[in-house]
Structure 1
Amino acid sequence: MQDIVIIGAGQGGLQAGMSLRQDGFEGNITLIGAEPGLPYQRPPLSKAYLKSGDAGALQLRPESFFEKKQITLVSGTLVDRIDRDARTVQAGQRVFSYDHLILATGTRNLRPPIPGAELALDLRTLEDAARLRDALDRPMRCAVIGGGFIGLEFAAVARALGHEVTVAEAAPRLMARAVSPETSERFLRMHRDMGTEVLLGDPVCEVRADGISLAGGTRIAADLVLMAAGVTPNTELAAAAGLAVDNGVVVDAHMLTADPGISALGDCAVFPDPATGRPVRLESVQAATDHARLISKRLTGKAEAPYDAVPWFWSDQADSKLQIAGLAAAGDATVTRADGAIFRFAGDRLSAVETVNDARTHMLSRKRLAGAPVLRRDLEAAGFDLAEV
């Protein structure tokens, strides 16, 4: 194997290139990114960057790193087509040959089909974040469409900077896809205590130049509207190439598509959950980098183990650091420990633990979830002390 091409220069794509070199791959590595410039971190865009404006702090590696590691970075370039028969990738007038292709195409912001949606701002790229930061240099009335991680992180920063903020969430609770009802309620109280108006269960039906309108008739005046209604995976290239797509590029437990010459990782990949076998797609930097390391081991013959890492997620909102270890389903039962840690159960099996400003419990949870199944009866016997299980 001489040529590996990686489409997507986010943290997962970059990690794939770095891991290949660390694992001894000596062939050519080409990393193609749609955005101009060097690869950077996205998570701080909705938090630290909005406060500091320090784009340099986001940079993952300097330009000299790519020269030293002999990774060819092709930035500001959109890939138009994958030719699986010829094993080539076409980007404009350029054609890149591959022996193995890694798809790390990530996601893009979801744009609901509502009138005026084009008037709302996004928070996905460094350019988006810079535009928002410039807008926040004067008193603003901000309306946020969506009460997920990104919308709430932005809301917390905007309130801390003294702006008026309204969050409109169509679901009946905040962060409904990611956390338990108890954690949703805790963060609802926190944001309202900060002075943010939070409206639940009433979808936005229009974005106007002077604000937003909700289906129930409420009109919210705003100088700035942020669209934070979720994301959708970038699967068009894979689908056009004839690869299986189902809310992401379908891969097996080794992150390999049905084409043995193509792998996929990160936010764009759908793979079997090691705990349940159900197909999952994780929007997580850690999952993307774990996927990348696994693919590298497979391609360099270092290991053939399936992906079985414990998922974990985090969100910084004001002074509250939410951390989630594991992956719960919507119907999983909930037990709240006296100190506020929340344990989720799929039947009798511990599926996830949610904590706020409790790094010790979070790390213990990740450690325990990585081993044999943790049973509810054992946790109950131990007073929900993970160190005793």
Structure 2
Amino acid sequence: MPSALPLGDPAPGDGVLPEQAAEGAAGRMFSLYAHIPFCAVRCGYCDFNTYTATELGGGASQDAYAATAASEVSFAARAMQESGLPERKLGTVFFGGGTPTLLPARDLVSVLRSATDAWGLAENAEITTEANPDSVSPDSLQELADGGFTRVSFGMQSAVPHVLQVLDRTHEPARVPQAIEWARNAGLKVSVDLIYGTPGESEQDWEISVRTALSYQPDHISAYSLIVEDGTKLAAQIRRGQVPGIEDDDHAVKYTLADELFQAAGLSWYEVSNWARTPEDACRHNLAYWHGDDWWGIGPGAHSHIGGVRWWNVKHPTAYAERLARGLSPAAGRETLNDETREMERIMLLTRLSGGIRVDSLSAPARRSMPQLIADELVDGRAAFTGVLQLTLRGRLLADAVVRRLLSD
């Protein structure tokens, strides 16, 4: 089952936000995240809020989902207006899941159209959908492009069959280049997602996956280390000894190899787990998260953040649909972040970016830690001389440790 929602304060049924949310909002980008909670098969490593058809009871129909999501868009637009937020056009829209492309392309376009009608789109807005390579066709990708989508992110994960089998991925490796070609023919930018550190994956397996992904010449690559979450099928398999465990050193070796190959192929890192061919190819939606901008997340289990106010929706699609049908916010809870928490998150997120964080924006204790961070080769000394804390390759491998030092008194 997907992980539990966080604890928090009760969320009001009308969705109205506290005054804090509107402070400085005009200077922040506004984005929309649309969660599509459906998958054909639940992958063994997945801890996301997703459901197969056999897991869903009545009232959670895929056929009705686009209309339900559109109703939350209308609810969100009204709640934001009543909260005194300024009118802002959407800078980015991201459809994630789950597998968004399990829904017909016309349904995804319909949800996007409802968002466009509610808020409008900024010039050159980025509109992305995630996709499994076996859930798209030339016609569906063209329909998405014609409907306003600009970008597709394919869950490739690996090019090695036995690794895909451990992950319970359903697509054939040969399907990936075909889907990428279809996307390009439709005029869409292409990103691919890879996962390293799967039990039983050798260094050679990983190199094959990286080189194969690069041979498709994507505009963007995300490479994430596999994290085994409690309650997943994979966690149970490791616990029972059916598959081997995961070593941190293995992750470090594979990350270093990937970074070397990506950079040699002309992709530069802009966030610890993300590389882009040009600065314009960086995922602007994810950058909005890391920069602490505003976004409304629609869909069951989706999280939102506006001006230091964070909330999350009820998880099950049936409960989600029922609340909206009654004219109530689908939020299960929310929290208003204090200054200390917002500063902690600012440091945690900006440190992960290649642009780094201004040294003069850090606390005095954090600034005093800089010489040792440089000596430990975690922070670039030349960048620090210009007033920017920027991670080295070693620092990226130990980013969490760097953040802990910056936040320690």
Answer yes or no: same fold by TM over 0.5.
no
Q: TM-score under structure 1 normalisation? A: 0.32
Structure 1 or 2: more strand by fraction: 1
Give the structure, 1 or 2, with the largest relative contact order (CA under 8 Å, sep 6 or more).
2
Structure 1 or 2: more helix by fraction: 2
Q: TM-score under structure 2 normalisation? A: 0.31
